[in-house]
Chain A
Amino acid sequence: MIPASFDYVRAGSVDEAIGLLSEHGEDAKLLAGGHSLLPLMKLRLAQPAMLIDIGRLRELSYVKEEKEYVAVGALTRHHDIAQSPVALASAPVLAHVAGQIGDPQVRHRGTIGGSISHGDPASDLPAVLLALGGTLVVQGPNGRREIDAKDFFLSFFEVALTPEEVLVEVRVPRSSGQWGFEKLTKRAQDWAIVGAVAVKTSDGVGVGLINMGPVPLRASAVEAAVTSGAKAIDAAQLAGEGTDPAADFNGSVAYRQHVAKVLVRRALEKVGV
């Protein structure tokens, strides 16, 4: 539970953080709320030589309403998203799920950008971004670029950020319609054994799965079935398609695929499918 030794520097701006990342390369990691990275370091599953602290860049903490989307600064804490009037009105599923992460201590320290760029398939927020069809704005030495959420999660704990880039903003289409979020945990504070989220979008219904493979997944087979008119109970039978969940003492592969069908059915019923 003692991390390997590391150097620490606090960045005063996003540009300074990018400069430090360029200088230190893959040996450096960004530190925001620390609720994903620090546990990994204590288990020595991560041993960065340099931590670049961006946690005090308050200019990256906001929830703003734009014409087409809701923009959330990468350093916005889960609690602030859960309480944000803008999020509650125009991205209520995001506000709800942010309020269900971990426990109050985690929600007051952990940030949306930290959770997303960590790339943990057991985290709740990536599945919401996939279901909503969100976009990630990242900034590097050559300026900003946008990445579709569906192209962001590459493999287990690996995302489409280059070593010099900082995730600066998360965008989700405005969506005040129906949504359903279901997760199975032994205790409220635990990571989901399995989770599912369904949202009404402009193209139909988006369905995201939590902890059902090495990356956060979109349940494409379920979405297609709903589009062609299937009811929740039938569409949900396809929830295991394309999944590759891990087996551990909380659940076998077959158990997780069974639970995914149950949770997807419940989430679909909440969006009126």
Chain B
Amino acid sequence: MHGGIAQGVAQALMEEVVYDLDGNPLTSTFADYSFISATELPSFETRFTETPTPINALGAKGIGESGTIGSAPALHNAVCDAVAHLGVRHVDMPTTPIRVWNAINEAAPGNDAGKKGR
């Protein structure tokens, strides 16, 4: 579960394969491609519910993806909410620092480029 949550957080905040305009990969090593680690993450609290499946003998189900599915939109919505009062309506994923800063500037009063809406 913790790994799944971490993967979704990384997708929302930093993980991205980037190419330049000529198609050269810019994230060809793990120095440039930002996988996430425990250092960037808080502690998680997990709660469990047990609903065994009747269609196999163990009652077991796969749940690893559920953390990923929930955490990416939760993080992305939190970032968008944090800058909504500045007029920002949209930020592309992942919401890297430069993307958030650009979105704030585009939405700034007096910047017509930011008023086109999305």
Please give the residue numbers on chain A whose beta carbons come within 8 Å of chain B beta carbons, in ascending order.
1, 39, 43, 184, 186-191, 193, 248-252, 255, 258-259
A65 CA / B26 CA spacing, docked (Å): 44
B18, B26, B37: the one within 8 Å of A187 (CB)? B37
10 closest Cβ pairs, A-B complex: A188-B39, A251-B98, A186-B34, A249-B18, A255-B98, A186-B14, A187-B40, A255-B101, A187-B34, A249-B26
Q: Identify 29 residue pairs between A and B in the complex whose beta-carbon atoms are under 8 Å apart, listed by A's number.
A: A184-B97, A186-B13, A186-B14, A186-B97, A187-B14, A187-B36, A187-B37, A187-B39, A187-B40, A188-B37, A188-B39, A188-B40, A189-B37, A190-B31, A191-B31, A193-B97, A249-B18, A249-B26, A249-B98, A250-B96, A250-B97, A250-B98, A251-B97, A251-B98, A252-B98, A255-B97, A255-B98, A255-B102, A258-B101
Nearest-CB distance from A40 to chain B (Å)?
12
Question: Bound state CA distance, A255 and B96, in angstroms?
Answer: 12
Contacts of B36 in A (CB 8 A): 187
| B interface, size bucket | 10 to 19
A259–B96 alpha-carbon span in the complex (Å): 14
Are A190 and B34 CB-contacts (below 8 A) given A249-B18, A249-B26? yes
Known: A43-B29, A184-B97, A187-B36. 10 other contacts (CB 8 A): A1-B29, A39-B31, A186-B14, A186-B96, A187-B34, A187-B39, A188-B39, A249-B26, A255-B101, A255-B102
CB distance from B34 to the nearest CB of A (A): 5
Interface of A is mostly: loop
In the bound complex, residues from chain A placing their C-beta under 8 Å from that of B40 are 187-188
Residue in B closest to A184 when the chains form the complex, CB atoms: B97
Determine how close the nearest CB of chain B comes to the CB of A35; give it in whole angstroms.
Answer: 12
Cα separation A187 to B18 with both chains bound (whole Å) = 17
Q: Closest approach, in angstroms, between the C-beta of A26 and any C-beta of chain B? A: 27
CA distance A191 to B40 in the complex (A): 15
Contacts of B98 in A (CB 8 A): 249-252, 255
A258 CA to B97 CA, complexed, in Å = 12
Centre residue among B31, B97, B98, B102 by max chain A CB count within 10 A? B98
Report Cα–Cα, A43/B25, bound state, in Å.
Answer: 14
The distance from the CB of B105 to the nearest CB of chain A, in whole angstroms, is: 9
Measured CA separation A145–B31 after assembly (Å)? 36
Interface residues of B in 85-100 (CB under 8 A from A): 96-98
CA distance A1 to B29 in the complex (A): 9
Neighbouring A residues of B96 by C-beta, 8 Å: 186, 250
Q: List the A residue with the shortest CB-CB distance to B39.
A: A188
Q: How far is the CB of A82 from chain B (nearest CB, A)?
A: 16
Residue among B26, B97, B101 with max Cβ neighbours from chain A (10 Å): B97
Q: How far is the CB of A233 from chain B (nearest CB, A)?
A: 19
B42 to chain A, nearest CB (A): 14
Most buried by B among A39, A186, A259: A186
Q: How far is the CB of B1 from chain A (nearest CB, A)?
A: 22
